[in-house]
Structure 1
Amino acid sequence: MKTKSVLSQTEVSQILAAARAEAQKNNWAVTIAIADDGGHLLALERLDGCAPASAYIATEKARTSALGRRETKSYEDMVNGGRTAFVTAPLLTSLEGGVPVIVDGQVIGAVGVSGVKADQDAQVAKAGADIFGAK
């Protein structure tokens, strides 16, 4: 039987703090969502000045990254590369800014960020997802 790490509230708090610090360092008003490996929301924080719609988008980015076991940028690249039918895939958002949390080669959750430019969303998400130094 295989075993893998799971996110506890301690790790969720650490991920959230790292992502928040990156956003605040750059003066970016974003929403940060953290999901478990099944795409279920564990934490959500909307920083002051961030649009309410970003809460929904960040959550969907985290869910998509967790379920797809990859960065959501790969889906955006697929659509931008001409596979436009992919935008109708169920349960997915094809927007950059969702990043999996990987420990010992296993996806144990994901971080989704929304509120600024796509690459900036991804930068904030990676700051949180990479706190374990896993790849």
Structure 2
Amino acid sequence: MRAAPDAGLMRGLALVTLLALAAPAAAQLVQDKLVQDRPALTLAGARIITEAAQAEAEKRGLKVTIVVVDPAGVPIALRRMDDAPAPGPEIATGKAQTAARFGNPTAVFEQRLQKEGQLRYLTFPGAMVASEGGIPVKLNGRTVGAVGVSGATSQEDGLIAAAGVAALEAAAAKK
């Protein structure tokens, strides 16, 4: 004959089971309040951009440097074509960082600078490049990185950068 289970023991086991099941949900609530989820380009995404941008530059007979950064402006990929101008990596990085951090194409700053002669009320840590050729990469309305191009005219740099962003958007739309 089996003894009846102790009621206190059963309640204790039920409480432990309930806590074990609730712990992941509670941890998620805490995590949601303490950690932000910020999407960023991957190396695979950066490759799509750099390959498409290089193809556009080659189509135009231009030698450029292409830099892709994450939303904080940290470089993910750098591609310097043969015979591209030596200052290209630094300038392209500055364009990409400016676009990523402000969430606007660098052409906006170039136009403002040309119109007003200065950029008012703007403080920026590091180098800010107010020359066309930096474009933020936005997916689902969020900046996930940026691309900067240097080595041609600023307008050509902008067109090459736009080709890279368009290729990534097309790839994202297929998924």
> TM-score w.r.t. structure 2 length?
0.71
Task: Give the superposed CA RMSD.
Answer: 2.0
2:104 is aligned with 1:70: yes
User: Match for 1:125 among 161, 168, 174?
Assistant: 161
Q: Which runs of 5+ in 1 are unaligned?
A: none
2:138 is aligned with 1:108: no
1:4 deviates by: 5.4
Alignment match, 1:37: 71
Structure 2 CA distance for partners of 1:10 and 1:83, relative to 1, 3 Å: same
1:10 deviates by: 1.1
Instruction: Write the mapping of 1:82-101 to structure 2, written as runs, cut at 5 A.
Output: 82-86=116-120, 89-90=123-124, 91=126, 92-101=128-137
Distance 2:101 2:73 in 1: 6
Quick check: which one's helix share is greater? 2
Distance 1:66 1:130 in 2: 16
Distance 1:80 1:39 in 2: 25
Aligned positions, number: 134
Secondary structure at the aligned position of 2:161 is classed as: helix
1:111 deviates by: 0.4
> TM-score w.r.t. structure 1 length?
0.90
Higher CA-based Rg: 2
Quick check: which one's strand share is greater? 1
Distance 1:97 1:107 in 2: 17
CA deviation map 1:84-112 (0-9, x unaligned): 154x8433111110001111111100000
Q: Greater relative contact order: 1 or 2 (C-alpha under 8 angstroms, separation 6 or more)?
A: 1
Question: Is the Cα contact below 8 Å between 1:30 and 1:46 reproduced in 2?
Answer: yes
